[in-house]
Structure 1
Amino acid sequence: MSTLEDARAGQPGNGRVVLVTGAGTGIGRAVALGLAAAGYRLAVTGRRAAPLESLLAEAGGNGLAVTADVTDPDSVAALFAAVQQHYGRLDVLFNNAGAIAPAINMEDLTLAQWKTVMDTNVTGVFLCTQAAFRVMKAQDPMGGRIINNGSVSSAMPRPNSTPYAASKHAVLGLTRSTALDGRKYNIACGQIDIGNTETPMAAGMKHGVLQPDLSIRVEPTFDVKHVVDGVLYMAGLPPEANVLQMTIMATAMPLVGRG
Structure 2
Amino acid sequence: MPNNTTSPSAAPDHAAAADPARAATVAVVTGAGSGIGRAVALELAAAGWSVALAGRRAEALRETAELAPDGADLLTVPTDVTRPEEVDALFAAVRDRFGRLGLLFNNAGAFGPPGPLEDLSYDAWRSVVDVNLNGAFLCAQAAFRLMKEQEPRGGRIINNGSISAHVPRPHSVAYTATKHAITGLTKSLSLDGRPYDIACGQIDIGNAATEMTGRMRTGILQANGQTAVEPVMDAADVARTVLHMAQLPLAANVQFATVMATTMPYIGRG
TM-score (structure 2 length as normaliser): 0.89
Determine which of 218, 242, 249 is the counterpart of 1:238: 249
**How big is the shift at 1:14?**
5.0
1:9 counterpart residue number: none
Distance in 1, matches of 2:249 and 2:263, equals 33
Distance in 2, matches of 1:14 and 1:76, equals 24
81-90 or 14-23, which moves further after superposition? 14-23
Contact 2:49 2:73 in 1 (8 A): no
Determine which of 103, 115, 128 is the counterpart of 1:104: 115
Moved over 2 A (4+): none
Distance in 1, matches of 2:235 and 2:47, equals 16
Contact 1:20 1:94 in 2 (8 A): yes
Distance in 2, matches of 1:137 and 1:240, equals 16
Task: Give the gaps of 5 or more residues in structure 1.
Answer: 1-12
Determine which of 194, 209, 218 is the counterpart of 1:198: 209
Aligned to 2:230, the other structure's residue is in SS state: coil
Aligned to 1:78, the other structure's residue is in SS state: helix
Determine which of 54, 61, 86 is the counterpart of 1:52: 61
Alignment pair present for 1:228 and 2:228: no
1:116 counterpart residue number: 127
What CA deviation, in whole Å up to 9, does each residue of 1:7-32 have, x standing for no partner? xxxxxx85610000000001100110
Alignment pair present for 1:168 and 2:179: yes
What CA deviation, in whole Å up to 9, does each residue of 1:169-213 have, x standing for no partner? 000000010011000110000000000011121111111110001
Contact 1:158 1:212 in 2 (8 A): yes
Distance in 1, matches of 2:73 and 2:252, equals 29
2:5 counterpart residue number: none
Distance in 1, matches of 2:64 and 2:217, equals 27
Distance in 1, matches of 2:214 and 2:145, equals 38
What CA deviation, in whole Å up to 9, does each residue of 1:64-99 have, x standing for no partner? 000111111111111110110011100000000001
Which residue identity is paired with 1:189? C
**How big is the shift at 1:62?**
3.1
- Percent identical pairs in the alignment equals 55
1:3 counterpart residue number: none
Contact 1:56 1:62 in 2 (8 A): no
Which residue identity is paired with 1:46? G
Using CA pairs under 8 Å that are at least 6 residues apart, name the structure with larger relative contact order, 1 or 2.
2
- Number of residues paired by the alignment? 247
Distance in 2, matches of 1:232 and 1:20, equals 12
Alignment pair present for 1:95 and 2:95: no
